[in-house]
A and B are shown apart, each in its own frame.
Chain A
Amino acid sequence: MDRLELTELTALLRACAGEGEGIDLNGDVLDTPFLDLGYDSLALLQVTGIIERDHDVTLDEEALDEAETPRQYLDLVNGALSARTTA
């Protein structure tokens, strides 16, 4: 089943919006708020666009806007991906 893992999300963040100094994206950042990781809403918008494109899925941008951590974001994305699979 098509799933988005944390490593893929952090790779996308790094590629789309760069990496701040003093932040280890390879660490346990699942529950670290995006703002603490240095990523703003535009960085996430960029990432969301690429996920939609590469996974051929339409995501609820308003719901994703509420996601404050990678865990919350991944849950929403994977929910949409599995809904698509079962549909």
Chain B
Amino acid sequence: MTALAGQERGLIGARDVTAVVTGLGVVAPGGVGTESWWASVLRGHNAIGPVTRFDASGYPVRLAGEVSGFTDEEHVSGRLLPQTDRVTRLALAAAAQALETAALDPARLPDYAVGVVTANAAGGFEFGQRELQALWSRGSRHVGAYQSFAWFYAANSGQISIRHGLRGPSGVVVSEQAGGLDAVAQARRLLRRGTGAVVTGGVDSTLCPWGWTAHLAAGGLSTAEDPDRAYLPFDAAARGHVVGEGGALFVVEDGDTARARGADALGVVAGCAATFDPAPGTGRPRLLPAAELALADAGITPADVDVVFADAAGERAADRAEAQTLTALFGPFGVPVTAPKTMTGRLLSGGSAVDLAAALLALRDQVIPPTVGTRRVADDCPVDLVTGAARPARLRTALVLARGRGGFNAATVLRAAR
């Protein structure tokens, strides 16, 4: 145990690296591309609406946050179309934008300089459904060879790596909504071990009947029909969440090498932490320790935090638990809290990645994006929720929280670049 801990410390502490974000690509409900999505978020535009990707009329849940206006052929070559699920196409688009905005050309770097660590919670659901339908209705000879990997959680990382020639350390993180934050933490570990840059973040897409059935079985979905009243975190009328698709990918880079090549930093990944809940009924959820560990990792106290991007479950007990975490750290109404995911639904691993993107842009533009839907917080959720409209603010430090189904908690502290 001691040896293992020492070894781990050695790995993590191999180099003192400032992890800076130099590139960002968002593909989410509300916008394909970072700036169009961000403009939509700042307007408070709710991108949740009726499901259009399949006929959901026979299901008890009929609302989703869909990525609209995404033309596959604009983002993915003809060669890749037959072997990619929608989720991988969304991820390839986000990765291309992240590398482009980072002005990072992997071809000009040493062979193993850039890695890929993405989070994904569900794999290629739509692709998998198609192949399984072929298997059961027509037989095994009708299942395509690409099913061997197109369904897989790691397909996004793999295809990004192949397309851009990123041969550094790579992997995939599977921790549901916490995944986007956990992936960035893993990317920072890789920087500390000597990798120059990592494409990281999270993307998910499960808007097909099979994915829908899985979400319904897992529970917690809002059955509301009105998109503006379906997902209401911290509201007394909270009744579950809405599922969405999409995510965000980043280029996270060693601050010294970024500076040396003249790259602009969007922000600094100053603190990361993850915890795991005890079995239900055997103890308290561990979101608070995750947040405390991330603040300690960043070397700051709660007083230094200017804004919190909440996990925002939209379920009464989970909302209360998060509000308790926030009041334990900051006191009642102690810090502005927001949940722009009320405009997109919960995107699985993509959700916390998009929250990181929103936090980075909030730091850049000195504005807190609004929470929509919820108008007034419940009495047992005493948090300063930014509702109605975006709120200008002086922002230096943001805390992003995420909880993944199954007991995952993660927290990330982001600091403004300058």
Contacts and interface: CB of A to CB of B under 8 A. Distances in A.
A binds B: yes
Interface of A: 15-21, 38, 42-43, 45-46, 49, 52-53
Contact of A18 (B80, B144, B145): B80
Contacts of A45: 145
A38 B77 CA distance: 12
B145 A49 contact: yes
22 contacts: A17-B79, A18-B77, A18-B78, A18-B79, A18-B80, A18-B81, A18-B82, A19-B78, A19-B79, A20-B77, A20-B78, A21-B77, A38-B79, A42-B146, A42-B148, A43-B145, A46-B144, A46-B145, A49-B141, A49-B144, A49-B145, A53-B141
B141 A52 contact: yes
Nearest to A15: B82
Contacts of B141: 49, 52-53
Counting chain B residues whose Cβ lies within 8 A of the other chain, the interface size class is 10 to 19
B142 interface: yes
A46 B146 contact: yes
A45 B77 CA distance: 20
B83 interface: yes
Nearest to A48: B145
A16 B81 CA distance: 10
Sort A-B residue pairs by CB-CB distance and give the 3 closest, nearest first: A46-B145, A18-B79, A18-B78
Contacts of A16: 82, 144
Contacts of B148: 42
Nearest to B141: A53
Contacts of A18: 77-83
Contacts of B78: 18-21
Interface string B117-143: 000000000000000000000000110
Nearest to B145: A46
